[in-house]
Structure 1
Amino acid sequence: MKAVILAAGYGTRLQRDVVADSSGRFAHLAGVAKPLLPVGRCALISHWVHALNASGCVDCIHVVTNALYHAAFEEWASQFTNVKILSDQTTSNDGRLGAVACLLLAVKHFKIEDHVLVIGGDTLFKEDFSLSKVKERFSELQAVCEDSCLVLSYQCKEEETRKYGILEVDGDLRVTCMKEKPLPTETKSRRACPCFYVFAKKSLPLLDTFIEEKKEAPIEEKDAPGNFVSWLIPRKPVYIHQISGRFDVGNLPSYVECDLYFKEKQDDDSYML
């Protein structure tokens, strides 16, 4: 299995917050890509690399970034032997390719013909999350059907459904549909879907199909990787693996919360294993 970490965003909200902050406490975060933000004892993305390597889930980690942050990611990656950096060649948020296109870029550039673990570069999970359990669940699904894919799910609050993609599932925990930012009255489900997916190698050719279908669509329809998941659900079996929650670093308050959590609680080597 290969890992692709999506890290080509520009962090516009967070950078806007850093500039607007008058305390000066966060000046050191100016111009830093979100995955490279210091969280606890290391960069946010380093938590993933340490856990992926220690768990043995993948044999290579590919990180897709943009031209603006490419050099910074290359410098960061020099401490690891199995991390490869790829730039999408964009230089601004307005010109971004979108997450699905970045994933396809990585699959083609690195000639990936294996199952792919896709991770949002600005996301971390609570301590109950386990890569080993994810691998075990995916293996069980693959033994039944090689087309099967796996996504994560956690219970969000009723008022938060409008912020996330919400999954509806059947009794076998197979996803029947994903509703994008629905009103609480539009679905009984409260299953939010973070950016962490295991795509079966048999599903990878569908990335091309999706991008081709959406080539004339606005960037919003192909940016969030959840758009591909939603499109994939009627075409391939997609199942959920349940977790308790996540950290999604989108703005300064969410970064402060995440950093504090890891400074206080995550100081052992078993995190996410």
Structure 2
Amino acid sequence: MKAVILAAGYGTRLQRDVSADSSGSFAHLAGVAKPLLPVGRRELASHWVRALGAAGGVDEIYVVTNDLYHAAFQDWASGFSNVKILNDGTRRNDERLGAVGCLLLAVQHFHIQDDLLVIGGDTLFKEDFSLGEVKESFSRAQERCEESCLVLSYHCGDQETQKYGILEVDGDLRVVCMKEKPRPSETSSRRACPCFYVLSKKCLPLLDTFLNDKKDAAIEEKDAPGNFVSWLIPRKPVYVHPISGRFDVGNLPSYIECDRYFKENLQNDETYMV
């Protein structure tokens, strides 16, 4: 299995918050890509690299970034033997390829033909999350059909449905549909879907099909990776692996909350996410 960490975003909200912060306490975060933010004892993305290595099963980790942050990611990756960096060639947010475009770029550039773990570079999970358990869930899904894919879900509140893609599932935890930011009255489900997917190698050619279908669409339709998952659900089996929650570093308050948790509350750094 291979892993791709999507890290080509520009962190616009976070950088705006850092610039506006009058305390000066977070000036060291200016110009730092979100996956390289210090979270507890290591960079956010380093938590993933450490956990993937400890859990086993993933032999290569590919990180897709942009030209603005490329040098910083190259410096960071020099500390790991199994991490390769790919530059998407953009330098501004309005030039971005979108997450699905970056994912396809990685698949084509590195000639990926294995099952693929896709990880949002600004996301970490609560301590009940286990890569080992995810692998077991994916194996069970593959036993049913080798085209099966796996996504995560966690419970969100009624007023949070309009922030996320919400999954509706059947009794076998197969996803029936994903509703993008629905009103609470539009679905009884409260299953939010974060950016973490295990894609069957059989489904990787569909990335190109999806982008061809969306070639005339606005960048927003190609940016959110959940749009690809939503498109995939009626075409291939997609199953859910439930977790309790996540840390999503979008702005300065969410970063502060995440960093504080990892400094003060993380129970076991060595087994985290393994």
TM beyond 0.5: yes
Other-structure match for 2:192: 192
Shift of 1:264: 1.1
The residue number in structure 2 matching 1:147 is 147
Tell me the alpha carbon deviations over residues 183-239 of structure 1, each in whole angstroms, 9 at most, x when there is no partner.
Answer: 001100000000000000000000000010101100011100000000000000000
Other-structure match for 2:272? 271
- Superposition deviation, residue 57 in structure 1: 2.6
CA positional deviation for 1:161: 0.3
Cα shift readout 1:130-161 (whole Å, capped 9, x = no counterpart): 00000011011111210100000000011000
Letter in 2 for 1:18: V
RMSD (Å), alpha carbons: 0.6
SS at match of 1:222: helix
1:214 maps to which residue? Answer: 214
Query: Does 136-145 or 72-81 show the bigger shift?
Result: 136-145
Shift of 1:265: 2.4
**Which residue number corresponds to residue 35 of structure 1?**
35
Task: Look up the SS of the partner of 2:227 in the other structure.
Answer: helix
Q: CA deviation at 1:268?
A: 2.5
Show the counterpart of 1:258.
258
Contact conserved, 1:61 with 1:82, CA < 8 A, in 2?
A: yes
Following TM superposition, by how much is the alpha carbon of 1:104 offset from its aligned partner in structure 2, in angstroms?
0.2
Q: CA–CA distance in 1 between the matches of 2:62 and 2:47?
A: 15
Q: Structure 1, residues 89-142: CA drift from partner, whole Å, max 9, x if none?
A: 000001100000000000000000000000000000000000000001101111
SS where residue 19 of structure 1 aligns?
helix
Aligned amino acid, residue 216 of structure 2 = E
TM-score, normalization by structure 2: 0.99
Compute the TM-score of the two structures, normalised by the length of structure 1.
0.99
* Aligned residue number for residue 107 of structure 1: 107
Indicate if the aligned counterparts of 1:57 and 1:131 stay in contact, CA closer than 8 A.
Answer: no
Residue pair 1:57, 1:132 contacting (<8 A) in 2 also: no
Alpha-carbon distance between aligned partners in 1 of 2:170 and 2:248, rounded to the nearest angstrom: 27
Percent identity over the alignment is 77
Look up the match of 1:83. Answer: 83
How far apart are the structure 2 equivalents of 1:221 and 1:140? 31
Paired AA for residue 151 in structure 2: V
Query: What's the CA shift for 1:4?
Result: 0.2
Counterpart mapping for 1:118-267 below 5 A: 118-266=118-266, 267=268
Distance 1:155 1:11 in 2: 26
Supply the distance in 1 between the matched residues of 2:38 and 2:255 (Cα, whole angstroms).
9
Q: Does the 8 Å CA contact 1:2/1:117 hold for their aligned counterparts?
A: yes
User: What SS is found at the alignment partner of 1:140?
Assistant: helix
Matched with 1:96 is 96
Residue 4 of structure 2 aligns to a residue in which SS? strand
Q: State the distance in 1 between where 2:234 and 2:140 align.
A: 21
Give the gaps of 5 or more residues in structure 2.
Answer: none
**Aligned AA (2:270):** D
CA distance in structure 2 between the partners assigned to 1:73 and 1:35 by the alignment: 9
Structure 2: which amino acid aligns with 1:71?
A: A
One-letter amino acid of the counterpart of residue 150, structure 1: L
Output the amino acid matched with 1:26. Answer: F
